[in-house]
Amino acid sequence: MSKWQPIETAPKDGTPVLLCDAGYGQMDVGVWEVDRWCMYDSGGAELYTSYFYTHWMKLPRAPSSKITKRREEEIERFYYNGKTIDESIEEMGGPL
């Protein structure tokens, strides 16, 4: 697990990091761009920028997720009224 480091040592190469403003305890994931820290939503739209972070930390690795075929079917049934995608397509008369 990473430890908090002074913001002056944070990477400024576009690497996403966990940022903290120790004065307020606010934490965000952001990247350095030109002259400030920027935060984006999952679609890539810039949410806001800040100059006031005091510390940073490397992001942890995402948990590995192996979705089994059975789990994929459970998800499909939830979103397609109790049917898999294949069953829904067949019910509609086959592929377009």
| 46-82 tens-digit pLDDT | 777 777 899 999 998 777 666 667 777 776 666 666 6
Partners of 56 in the beta sheet? Answer: 5, 19
Alpha-carbon span 91 to 88, nearest angstrom:
5
CA count, 13 A, side-chain hemisphere, 23: 3
pLDDT tens-digit series, residues 7-52: 999 999 989 999 999 888 888 889 998 888 988 877 777 777 777 8
Percentage above 70 pLDDT, the chain: 73
